[in-house]
Amino acid sequence: MASSETGIANEAPIELQFIDNPTWHTEQPRQEFSLPPADRGKAAWLFLMTCFFVECFIWGFPFSYGILQEYYSTHEPFVSKPSGVAAIGTTALRWPSHRRYNCFVGVAVVSLSLIASSFSQAVWQLILTQGVGYAVGAMLLYDPILLFLHEWFVQRKGLAFGVMWAGTGASGIFIPYFLAWGLDRYGFRTILRAWGVACFVFLAPMMLLVKPRIPLTLSSSETTMRRFDWRFVLTPAFIIFQIQNIFQGMGYFIPGIYLPSYAHSLGMSKSATTATIALLNSMGVFGCISAGLLIDRLHVATVQVVFALGSALSVFFLWGFSVSVPLLLVFSAAYGFFAFPYTTMYTGVMKEVRRQCPGAEFGLLMGLLSAGRGIGSVVSGPLSEALLKRMDAADDATTGYDSDYVNLIIFTGTCVALGGCFGFGAKRIGWL
């Protein structure tokens, strides 16, 4: 994901001044360049708005996958061989001169993957197209945007990433209802083709607004041949936060996948099952912005443990004891607020890692953190199916702990709790 030029905030003095001092361009003009200000100004906020809408289209769809999960598990041609369905949604989750071109290629790959998935006749074809293909396209589109946002926002980086990642939750309010309506009326083939076309029509023009704050000639000409500094992977900060990151990824996605099925097993209406996903995503908007504001002011370990405990308690007590629509909706809201914004805290994680190893580069760090979360999410798909299959609960379950989902509830709550406890403990003993 990263290339040598992504270390713009570390080893090269010129780049360090550009990134970490939002007013550098007004105080020390260099040649004919006049950089737009960081953290403020029309250009910065326009770029952030573009990031928000890209987030809406790219990640709002996979984060509403629970609706498709229920459909695939109850309709042909997939109901006869449903094994692997849960892995579809969890799977979906470099050279400097090519970054902007990668964005356009990514839009095309995402759109074509959705359209291709509409022709699927087996689960493995869905995994290949809607899972792997979609993820590759999203990565090509998404990674340059993350690197550019790092340039546009310095002092308010946590808030900026929080606003961008809130786009997933915002679109997740209406996408579940769109999918539920479209699947009932037109079937999965038509709805996937329509969404694929819509992604291309809306995202392709937006790519014209995706551009770096620092011109290529300034940000990379002096660092093209420079090697990565990998020493940060041995720092206590990176090891601890990456372990947390993997655990949180293993547990986080499970409610979003299984809530509609769980609600359906309780005899809830289709509107209620759809509302569980919509509410989870909508509360994620407030969670992301809140976490972004806090991460700019408090130590990342403190913020993570608060959100991790909130996530775990909501799973153990609200999902575990929910057998009615109101309590399940309360769980969706609480879990969305506390668990959804975990990636917003990456800015705080990277700040702590770079405090221990100043040579750590933003692009490489973001790539490894994303890979760690990806490992957790991919593992959670088949693992969650195995946990669900082991149970043979009675039909008259009185709580979630009496149902087929008890193992999922315990596993999810444990994983999201571990997503914040190690860092807080390490901070208490002085490792962070």
Query: Digits of tens for pLDDT over the chain (432 positions)?
Result: 433 333 334 333 334 344 444 444 444 444 455 788 887 888 889 999 999 999 888 887 777 766 666 666 665 555 555 445 445 444 444 334 456 678 898 899 999 999 998 898 887 888 888 888 888 888 888 888 888 888 888 888 888 888 888 888 888 788 888 888 888 888 888 989 999 999 999 999 999 888 888 776 555 444 454 567 889 999 999 999 999 999 999 999 899 888 888 888 888 888 888 888 889 988 999 999 999 999 989 999 999 999 999 999 999 999 999 888 889 999 999 999 999 999 899 999 999 999 999 988 888 888 889 888 888 888 888 888 888 865 555 456 678 898 889 999 999 999 999 999 999 999 999 888
CA-nearest of 97, 102, 6 to 363 is: 6
Can you tell me the distance from the alpha carbon of 259 to that of 72, in angstroms, rounded to the nearest whole number?
15
- State both tokens at 312: 């775990």
Give the Å distances, CA to CA, from 320 to 84, 287, 315, 341, 404.
25, 22, 6, 22, 11
Query: pLDDT at position 395, please?
Result: 55
Contact status, residue 432 vs residue 236, Cβ threshold 8 Å? yes
Burial of 119 (0-12, 13-18, 19+ CB in 10 A): exposed
- State both tokens at 162: 């929080």
CB count within 10 Å of CB 77 equals 12
Give the Å distances, CA to CA, from 165 to 48, 56, 68, 285, 343.
10, 8, 22, 8, 8
Q: What angle do CA 197, 374, 309 make, to 5 degrees?
A: 115
Residue found under tokens 């910065």: 44
**Three-class SS state of 30:** strand
- Percent helix, strand and coil across the chain, each rounded to 5? 75, 0, 25
| Domain spans, the chain | 4-428
Can you tell me the distance from the alpha carbon of 206 to that of 197, in angstroms, rounded to the nearest whole number?
15
**Three-class SS state of 204:** helix
Can you tell me the distance from the alpha carbon of 283 to that of 294, in angstroms, rounded to the nearest whole number?
17
Query: pLDDT at position 11, please?
Result: 37
Query: pLDDT at position 178, please?
Result: 86
Query: pLDDT at position 346, please?
Result: 92
Can you tell me the distance from the alpha carbon of 339 to that of 335, in angstroms, rounded to the nearest whole number?
5
Query: pLDDT at position 390, please?
Result: 53
Class of domain 4-428: mainly alpha
Burial of 28 (0-12, 13-18, 19+ CB in 10 A): exposed
Can you tell me the distance from the alpha carbon of 259 to that of 412, in angstroms, rounded to the nearest whole number?
12
Query: pLDDT at position 183, please?
Result: 85
Give the Å distances, CA to CA, from 351 to 107, 256, 288, 362.
30, 30, 18, 9
**Three-class SS state of 99:** helix
